[in-house]
Amino acid sequence: MKNNQVARDTEESKWINLCENINKEYPDVVIELWDETSIQEKLCLPETQGCYRYWFEYSDVFETEILTSYQRAINSWAKTKYIPDLYSTGYIHDKLSSFTGSFEATKKKYDMTQNIYAIVQKLKRAYEDILRLQFPENEKALFEKVKSDISVLGEWLCIIREIGSLVASGSDIERDNFEKKFELNCDSSELKDSSLHFSYYNHFHEVESILDNIEDDFEQFKRCMISDSHNKIIFLGNQGTGKTAGIVSEIDLMLQDKSFLPVLVQAKDYRKGDSWLSILTRTIGLSTTWSELELFQALENAALLRNRYLNESCDIVVQPKCLICVDGIDEASLWSFWKERIEETQVYEGIFPNVKFVFLSRPYVFPRYYDLDYRECFIHYQVVEMCL
């Protein structure tokens, strides 16, 4: 009521009008109003308990405890294996950069989308110039092939633009994004046989130079774009190759630039009877009141507080992740214990997409790794990551 009259311009009517206006322009958009009660209800669901506990009870503790846990490691068991002044980033850095989707790796992907887009666009324009020529009647088939390829290239320009947007937003690129195969109807040999080739050499030569390399360019583009579909990576390296030095250095960099949230675990501290819950709570120094589901949710949320935009001058977004790094599996009292924990990580892949696992071991722990379901996760590490 307003001035003894029923108010027509209410909060409810404003909300309805807003939704109607948005749906007129964006009919596929679903708009939901979450008030305080709705949010509270969602946070109290069993599958979101970890989010609630982290944001409303323990957020400050997590940051402090994880940093303290790392300091304990580098001042005890990792002290003699990692000397910052002697370390040089190399193989582990490159592999982890790709595995985690770091700013460096994401920027490389984005630059490649721009590069392949420019190549396809250049070919399309060169084809359009050729179509303006007067093809003789006996070469109409070639004319139609070029015309058809212009349409194919136009479709691929849209696909590449969409992939570039996904990369810039920090999203993973799956194989489904390349469901359409890159195929052209015309090849460079047909163009060279055209009667117009000699008179319009510059027109044809530009197209030929692109066609000779475009399949290789696209294959390289595809390999670079598709994200690692696994939630774990396992480095195998002999004694003295710098596995511990490499992973500790990477963790140090992550903590400094606030890119990801790493947890460093010494494998030999845990044995039969331990679970991922007990491993992580003891390593980080948390209470035993957490459930496993809550803890992994909390770690994902803790990662969200890291700096998502690692380079403010660039519009590329990096998806923050929690990285659980287990070093020295070969030093554990029971190798089968850690093999079981590694297999368990498969369960977490779909539930906690922003929790990743890194394991480091000597090769003799996994003599027949190629028979395992997760054999693609193994990386043979032979480079010494130390320099004087």
| Whole-number pLDDT of residue 384 | 46
Tally of CB atoms within 10 A around 295: 20
| Whole-number pLDDT of residue 207 | 86
Question: Could you read off the pLDDT of 279-309 as tens digits, one per residue?
Answer: 999 999 988 888 898 899 889 888 887 765 4
246's CB contacts (< 8 A; 6+ apart) are 87, 90, 91, 92, 93, 235, 385
| Whole-number pLDDT of residue 140 | 87
| Whole-number pLDDT of residue 388 | 36
| Whole-number pLDDT of residue 333 | 92
Q: In terms of Cα–Cα distance, which of 219, 266, 241, 205 is closest to 78?
A: 266
| Whole-number pLDDT of residue 362 | 94
| 178-192 mean pLDDT | 83
- Report the SS3 class of residue 321: coil
d(CA 228, CA 357): 13
271's CB contacts (< 8 A; 6+ apart) are 332, 333, 334, 337
Verdict on whether the full-model pTM lies above 0.85: no
* Of 97-111, 151-165, 182-196, 308-322, minimum mean pLDDT range: 308-322
| Whole-number pLDDT of residue 89 | 60
Q: Which residue has the higher pLDDT, 376 or 190?
A: 376
d(CA 62, CA 297): 12
| Whole-number pLDDT of residue 241 | 82
| Whole-number pLDDT of residue 371 | 92
Question: Could you read off the pLDDT of 323-361 as tens digits, one per residue?
Answer: 999 999 999 999 999 999 999 999 999 899 899 999 999
Q: In terms of Cα–Cα distance, which of 226, 229, 210 is closest to 115?
A: 210
| Whole-number pLDDT of residue 325 | 97
Q: How far is CA 363 from the centre of its chain?
A: 27
* Of 60-64, 176-180, 286-290, 362-366, minimum mean pLDDT range: 60-64
Share of the chain above pLDDT 70, in %: 85
d(CA 155, CA 324): 41
| Whole-number pLDDT of residue 161 | 93
Question: Could you read off the pLDDT of 226-238 as tens digits, one per residue?
Answer: 877 789 999 999 9
Average pLDDT for the chain:
84
Q: Which residue has the higher pLDDT, 191 or 53?
A: 191
Task: To the nearest 10°, report the CA torsion of 203, 204, 207, 213.
Answer: -140
Q: In terms of Cα–Cα distance, which of 49, 67, 51 is closest to 283?
A: 67
| Whole-number pLDDT of residue 264 | 96
Give the pLDDT band of residue 139 (cuts 50, 70, 90).
confident
* Residue 27 in tokens: 């009919």
Question: Could you read off the pLDDT of 21-79 as tens digits, one per residue?
Answer: 888 888 888 888 776 656 656 655 655 655 656 555 655 457 788 889 999 998 888 87
